[in-house]
Structure 1
Amino acid sequence: MKPQTLLAGATLGVMGGGQLGRMFVHAAQRMGYSTVVLDPDATSPAGRVSHHHLHADYLDTRNLAELARLADAITTEFENVPADALAQLAAHRPVAPAGEAVAIAQDRAREKAHFTRCGVRCAPYAVIESEEQLALVPDALVPGILKTARLGYDGKGQVRVDGREALVAAWDGLGRVPCVLEQRLALAAECSVVVARGAGGTLVHLPPQRNLHRAGILAVTEVFDGVLPDALAQEAVQATRSIAEGLDYVGVLCVEFFVLQDGTLVVNEMAPRPHNSGHWSLDGSDVSQFELQVRALAGLPLVQPRQHSPAIMLNLLGDLWFRPGADAPVEPDWPAVLALQGMHLHLYGKSEARPGRKMGHLTITGASPVAVRQAALAACDVLGIEPF
C-alpha cells in the first residue's frame, strides 16, 4: 500500500512487544502518536506502555484485522515475526519494512545471496539442506561455524566445527534442518551500521559502531571519532547503503560486519529493525534510531543524525541479578552506578531476570573517548561486568 505522511494523532502499530518495541512506542508517543502493539506475551515490555495491546499470536487472523483497523501504519520490532503476517497487513495498511525484506533476513541463505547480488563480500559459505550437499562441502570451509538457516539470534542455532566428523555431528544435532556453513575467519573486530531509508529513497545513517560480543550476545558498543579507521567506516556505510537500496528498503536496518585481521571487511548479517548496537543513540545523538523508525514509518523527513557525545553502551543481562553465592536474584546497585558521571540507565520493565536475558542497557556519554571509557570501566566494576 502506498505510504502517506502521518501526523501527530495518528496511530502507529508494531508487531512484537520486546524492548525494541517499547523504545519505538516511547519515541512515537513523545512525537504525539498513539500506538498499538500485537504480541503473544500479556506482560510484554512494549505492550505494557502502549495505548493498545493486542495479546495474540502473530498469525491470529482476527487480531491482525484489528491491528489493521487500529493502526494507520505498521512496523516490526524483531525479525522473526512471520513475513506472511506482514504481507496480510500490507493489503490494508502501509507496512515498513516490507514482508519480503523481513523474509530475506529470516533466511541466512537468502540473506547471503542478497549480499552477493549487492556486491558486498561475505565469508565463504555453503548451504546444507541435504546429505548430498553436506558431502560436497569444500574442505576449505572447515574449520567453520554451522548456523541454522532460520530462527537464529544471539548465538542460538550455531555450532563451531573443527573437522568433517564434527560437521556431520553438528548437523545431526541441529536436527538436519537447512543450515549455512561459514568458514571461520581470523577476526580483529566487529562493527555495525544502522541506517534509515524513506519511501522516497532518502537514506541517513548513524556513525559506524564497534561491537564486542560475548557468548554470541552483544556486550559492548563503542561509538566515537576514530573508533574505526575512516576508510573502513566509509566502506561499511556504503555496503549498508547498497544492501538497503537493493531491497528498496523502508524503515530502520542494521547490518553487522566482521573486521578481519588483514584489515578487510566482510558482512555478517542484517536485522530489519533497530538494533541493540544502536541503543546509544537515545543518549548520544540528536536523533535516535527509534525516532528514525517513527519518521520512516510515518513518512516524515529523515535528517542525518549528529552524534553530540562520545558514547559506550553496556548490555545489562540477567546474569547481573545473580551474583556469586546469592540464592535468589538481587537487584544490581543502581545508585552506585548512577553516582558515576555520564550514566544513562535504561531498564526494559521485564518481570523476571534470567541469565542471558536482556534486561536493559547502560549508555555512558562524556567529553572525550578516554573519559567515557574510564567511566564505563568504573560501571563495569560496580556491576561485576567483565572489563573490555
Structure 2
Amino acid sequence: MTSSVPGHPLAPGATLGVMGGGQLGRMFVHAAQRLGYATAVLDPDEASPAGLVSHHHVQAGYLDEAGLHRLAQVADAITTEFENVPAEALTGLAERRFVAPAADAVSVAQDRTKEKAHFTRCGVPCAPNALIETPGQLADVPDALLPGVLKTARLGYDGKGQVRVADRAALAKAWDELKRVPCVLEKLLPLASEISVVVARGADGAMVHLPVQKNLHRAGILAVTEVGEGVVPGALAQQAIESTRAIAQGLDYVGVLCVEFFVLQDGSLVVNEMAPRPHNSGHWSMDGADVSQFELQVRTLAGLPLAAPRQHSHAIMLNLLGDLWFASGAERTPPWADVLALPGAHLHLYGKASARPGRKMGHLTFTAADAAQARTTALRACGLLGLETF
C-alpha cells in the first residue's frame, strides 16, 4: 500500500528526497535538478557521492529519528536508491510524506523467500529452490537441487552472500561459512545468457519500460550491458517485459523497478531477482535513450506523466570497478583522455573519494548507429583500460 500523494504532480521547485547517497542517488539528484527540482539526501557518509551534489545532505543513519524527521521536513516526496534501506524507516517517512517505492514493496525485495513467493503468485517461473533455516531443512534438501547456489535470504547483492555448492558436504560447509543465517538453495541451471528489464510505474498505474537489456556478469558483478535491435530475440524480450509488468503490478509498485532473468540453454526464461530502484544495467539509458531510468524515477516520484523511452542509439555499457586504478600494480589514473577520443564514448564517474578493487567507480557507455560500431569501439576501450573483452 503506497502512501497518499498530496499535491501531485509536484511542480519543479519542490524538493525530492532520496534515502541513500551512493552513485544511484547521485544520478537521481542530477536528473531531478535538470528538471528544476531541489534535492535532499539522507546518508551517514559526509562525502557520499549524492550528498556532495545535493541541495541538502542530512548526514544521519537510516534509522536515526532526528535525521528522518529532518528529511521529511525538507523533502516533499522521498524515494530510495538501494534496496537495503530499512523498510521500517520508509514506513515512518510515509506517515509524513509520499514515499515511492513503498516499504512493503521494498521489504519483498529484501527477502529472497518473499521475493520468490511473489514471483510465483505472479505466474513468473524461478529456479527450483528450498529454504534453509534449520539443520532439519538442510538435511531434507532434495538431491535434485544439487549442484546449486546457496544464497543468504537477506542483504545479498553483487554476488555477496552466495556460494556455489556441488554436493551435500559442500552445502553444509557453505551454510556454516554463512553463519547459518536463513538461506535459499537454488538449483544451478544451464544458462545461455542473462537479461534484465527496467520498468517505471506511476501512482495512477501507468507503466513504461526500457528496451530489454542483455547482461554479462563477472564474479557476480555486472560487467557489460548491451541494448539494441537483435540483441535479445523479440519473443523472449516480450515475455520478459510481460513478466516484469506482472511483478510490478502485483506489488502495486510505484517507482522504477528492475527485474533480472536467466535465459536457459533450451530457450526458456526464469526470473532471478528484482531491485526496487534504478539498476546498473539501465545506465546506458542516460546516453542511448531520450528518457533515462533516473528521469523516470523523478517522474514517478513527482507524479509527472510517464513517456515511453525511445532508444535512439545502439548502446554498450562497461562497468568501471576500482580494479582499473590498480591495473599496473601501483595506483594510477586510468587513461581517460584516450578513451574519450573514441567516437560515441560517454564517461560517467561517480565522485567517490578513493578507488578499491570491486568498488563501482563509474561506467562507460558507447553509442553508435549499429551493433558492429558500438562493439568495435567498446572493445577498443577495453584494450586501452586493460578490461577483459567480451
Report whether the alignment pairs 1:377 with 2:382.
no
Question: SS state of the match for residue 27, structure 1?
Answer: helix
Question: SS state of the match for residue 273, structure 2?
Answer: strand
Question: SS state of the match for residue 159, structure 1?
Answer: strand
Aligned counterpart, 1:225: 229
Q: TM-score, normalised by structure 1?
A: 0.99
The code of the aligned residue for 1:96 comes to: A
User: Residue 174 of structure 1 is aligned with which of 172, 175, 178?
Assistant: 178
Once the two structures are TM-superposed, the CA of residue 268 in structure 1 deviates from its matched residue by 0.1
Query: What does the per-residue CA deviation read over 1:257-279, in whole Å, with 9 as the maximum and x for residues that have no partner?
Result: 00000000000000000000000
User: Residue 367 of structure 1 is aligned with which of 366, 369, 379?
Assistant: 369
Once the two structures are TM-superposed, the CA of residue 135 in structure 1 deviates from its matched residue by 1.0
Report whether the alignment pairs 1:18 with 2:14.
no
User: Residue 354 of structure 1 is aligned with which of 324, 348, 356?
Assistant: 356
Question: SS state of the match for residue 257, structure 2?
Answer: strand
How far, CA to CA, are the matches of 2:295 and 2:367 in structure 1? 19
Once the two structures are TM-superposed, the CA of residue 136 in structure 1 deviates from its matched residue by 1.0
Query: What does the per-residue CA deviation read over 1:295-351, in whole Å, with 9 as the maximum and x for residues that have no partner?
Result: 000000001100000000000000000023x33x10000000011100000000000
The code of the aligned residue for 2:379 comes to: L
Aligned counterpart, 1:287: 291
Query: What does the per-residue CA deviation read over 1:188-223, in whole Å, with 9 as the maximum and x for residues that have no partner?
Result: 000000000000100000000000000000000000
Question: SS state of the match for residue 235, structure 1?
Answer: helix
Aligned counterpart, 1:156: 160
How far, CA to CA, are the matches of 1:385 and 1:18 in structure 2? 24
Question: SS state of the match for residue 48, structure 1?
Answer: helix
Once the two structures are TM-superposed, the CA of residue 20 in structure 1 deviates from its matched residue by 0.2
| Matched residues, number | 386
The code of the aligned residue for 1:259 comes to: V
Once the two structures are TM-superposed, the CA of residue 162 in structure 1 deviates from its matched residue by 0.2
Question: SS state of the match for residue 116, structure 1?
Answer: helix
Aligned counterpart, 1:78: 82
Q: Which runs of 5+ in 1 are unaligned?
A: none
Aligned counterpart, 1:310: 314
How far, CA to CA, are the matches of 1:70 and 1:48 in structure 2? 17
How far, CA to CA, are the matches of 1:173 and 1:357 in structure 2? 23
How far, CA to CA, are the matches of 1:188 and 1:239 in structure 2? 19
User: Residue 206 of structure 1 is aligned with which of 180, 205, 210?
Assistant: 210
Question: Aligned runs of 1:2-151 on 2, under 5 Å?
Answer: 2-3=4-5, 4-151=8-155
Aligned counterpart, 1:247: 251
How far, CA to CA, are the matches of 1:41 and 1:236 in structure 2? 37
Q: TM-score, normalised by structure 2?
A: 0.99
Report whether the alignment pairs 1:387 with 2:373.
no
How far, CA to CA, are the matches of 1:379 and 1:57 in structure 2? 39
Once the two structures are TM-superposed, the CA of residue 132 in structure 1 deviates from its matched residue by 1.1
Once the two structures are TM-superposed, the CA of residue 5 in structure 1 deviates from its matched residue by 1.0
User: Residue 268 of structure 2 is aligned with which of 255, 264, 267?
Assistant: 264
Report whether the alignment pairs 1:330 with 2:332.
yes
How far, CA to CA, are the matches of 1:302 and 1:41 in structure 2? 33
Q: Which runs of 5+ in 2 are unaligned?
A: none
Question: SS state of the match for residue 195, structure 2?
Answer: strand
How far, CA to CA, are the matches of 2:70 and 2:24 in structure 1? 22
Once the two structures are TM-superposed, the CA of residue 2 in structure 1 deviates from its matched residue by 1.4
The code of the aligned residue for 1:193 comes to: V
The code of the aligned residue for 1:344 comes to: H
Once the two structures are TM-superposed, the CA of residue 151 in structure 1 deviates from its matched residue by 0.5
How far, CA to CA, are the matches of 2:85 and 2:108 in structure 1? 12
